[in-house]
Chain A
């Protein structure tokens, strides 16, 4: 703007926001502090890469000699995932309904929301450890863990989906003299069912993944086999297990796509 004489200086309309500048500065300082506290240096990183190279070398070729052990672990994981998903989904259907604030009085929805929030509080690993300690080693602990995880996810999203429905349709069905259950079946469910299927399929997918994890803390499935292979340094067998898990997840993805297409 050189050469232009202005009678008045205008302020830049974009003012610096000192609060957000301060927050960014704090985040930057904390990041530097954390790097130092963890002792993360380039030396440490390159040293680590050398180890990783050695590990990879021992993983190949994968060793499928103990395929029977692998298959039985896989079967158990699959069973855990399916049982937990079906039970979790059915329970979530009811819990989600009871948690919907537009359909239920507060004395029902508030405790139910609390319970669902509790299910979401802990990572499945922690829940798995709790169940292993309380019901003992094995698949039961894994199943219970994944049921809790499923409720935390599906019931919450399902309740939110119900809270977004059109109440006009509900009112119309209520006006026919339909009872509460019929109102739910014929005006609420048609509006939310395809979303519920979506959540359920996603949860089945995620349960398949998690079912291979719960075994690491002793709650049954392929994870246990994986963990003991790690501890015995059978890295070629570890590679075989990892490849199997990848195949399982891909299969799950494929199946869930089919289910989504059916219920679209």
Chain B
């Protein structure tokens, strides 16, 4: 499963052009974002709360509809896709949520299997007719995230770190070509946060796919990221290597300086 897309030409793999989003007309939260993702690995998006990082990720898999701009995903415009076409694109984008968003009354393994729903018809879903391959894959993924013994527990009986592992397994189960993670570590303690980032890094390397990670913790971000994108007030103010980011940049992104070491 891991190398199915390895041969694809990745230039212009995910290209965001002039992306704008207004929840209230005349009050844009994203003011023209241009990002081109062509390399695998973790891309950390940093910036203060309310600056549109979540909105940006949600626009990429269209949980939120952008107001203007284009999102070219493997040369198909995601921002214009509808219905079945949208769902086909969406299933190639795995999403990890800040508060895990597991379906609490389903078991852990069932939650992982829901990652395959985008590949199934409603009739198959109704009969819970997951293919044997998917079922094997789900158990293997659960093993890979270290939760084999919890497979048949209900999702709401797990701890936060364990739930996020399930959330990642569910996203990877989609066999995605890009991973999106919306503040995946901010509900977790520092040690667990590092483990979650390691897991994201590992899957992004194994699958050879990019992982866009919204993150508050600048140190944690620069430890894992191959590329950092700094956002402030709905625009990109830094885009480059984690080493290149300076206190000046951070001041520009977050404002003030009392929080810097």
A interface residue numbers (CB < 8 A to B): 166, 168-169, 171-183, 185-187, 190-191, 193-194
Name the B residues within 8 Å of A183 (CB-CB). Answer: 117
Give residues of chain B (105-138) contacting chain A, Cβ–Cβ below 8 Å. 105-106, 114-122, 125-126
In contact, A173 and B117 (Cβ under 8 angstroms): yes
Identify B126's interface contact among A171, A173, A174, A181, CB under 8 A. A181
B interface residue numbers (CB < 8 A to A): 61, 63, 84, 87-95, 97, 99, 101-106, 114-122, 125-126, 167, 170, 174
Known A-B contacts: A176-B90, A187-B103. Give 5 more (CB < 8 A). A174-B63, A175-B61, A176-B95, A176-B116, A177-B119
In contact, B170 and A191 (Cβ under 8 angstroms): no
Q: A66 to nearest B CB, angstroms?
A: 48
In contact, B105 and A176 (Cβ under 8 angstroms): no
Q: A210 to nearest B CB, angstroms?
A: 32
Nearest residue (CB) in B for A190 is B105
In contact, B117 and A186 (Cβ under 8 angstroms): yes
Bound Cα distance A92, B101 (Å):
28
Q: B175 to nearest A CB, angstroms?
A: 11
In contact, A181 and B125 (Cβ under 8 angstroms): yes
In contact, A168 and B114 (Cβ under 8 angstroms): no
Identify A172's interface contact among B87, B97, B119, B125, CB under 8 A. B97
Identify B87's interface contact among A171, A179, A186, A194, CB under 8 A. A179
In contact, B104 and A176 (Cβ under 8 angstroms): no
Name the B residues within 8 Å of A175 (CB-CB). Answer: 61, 63, 90, 93-95
Q: A170 to nearest B CB, angstroms?
A: 9
In contact, B91 and A176 (Cβ under 8 angstroms): yes
Name the A residues within 8 Å of B126 (CB-CB). Answer: 181, 185
With A178-B125, A186-B106, A190-B103 known as contacts, the answer to whether A173 contacts B114 (CB < 8 A) is yes
Bound Cα distance A152, B95 (Å):
39
- Interchain pairs with CB closer than 8 A, number: 95
Bound Cα distance A175, B61 (Å):
7
Name the B residues within 8 Å of A169 (CB-CB). Answer: 101-104
In contact, A168 and B118 (Cβ under 8 angstroms): no
Bound Cα distance A160, B114 (Å):
25
In contact, A182 and B103 (Cβ under 8 angstroms): no
Nearest residue (CB) in A for B167 is A172
In contact, A177 and B91 (Cβ under 8 angstroms): yes
Name the A residues within 8 Å of B97 (CB-CB). Answer: 168, 171-172
Bound Cα distance A190, B155 (Å):
12
Bound Cα distance A16, B94 (Å):
62
In contact, A179 and B122 (Cβ under 8 angstroms): yes
In contact, B122 and A173 (Cβ under 8 angstroms): no
Q: B203 to nearest A CB, angstroms?
A: 16
Nearest residue (CB) in B for A187 is B103
Name the B residues within 8 Å of A191 (CB-CB). Answer: 103-105
Give me 18 A-to-B residue pairs in the complex whose CB atoms sit less than 8 angstroms apart, sorted by A's number: A169-B101, A171-B97, A172-B114, A172-B167, A174-B90, A175-B90, A176-B91, A176-B115, A176-B117, A177-B87, A177-B92, A178-B91, A178-B117, A181-B125, A187-B103, A187-B114, A190-B103, A194-B105
Name the B residues within 8 Å of A194 (CB-CB). Answer: 105
In contact, B120 and A182 (Cβ under 8 angstroms): yes
Bound Cα distance A174, B90 (Å):
9
In contact, B63 and A176 (Cβ under 8 angstroms): no
Q: A110 to nearest B CB, angstroms?
A: 23
The 10 closest A-B pairs by CB, nearest first: A177-B118, A177-B91, A181-B122, A178-B117, A172-B101, A177-B90, A175-B95, A182-B125, A190-B105, A168-B101
In contact, B125 and A176 (Cβ under 8 angstroms): no
Name the B residues within 8 Å of A186 (CB-CB). Answer: 103, 106, 114, 117, 125
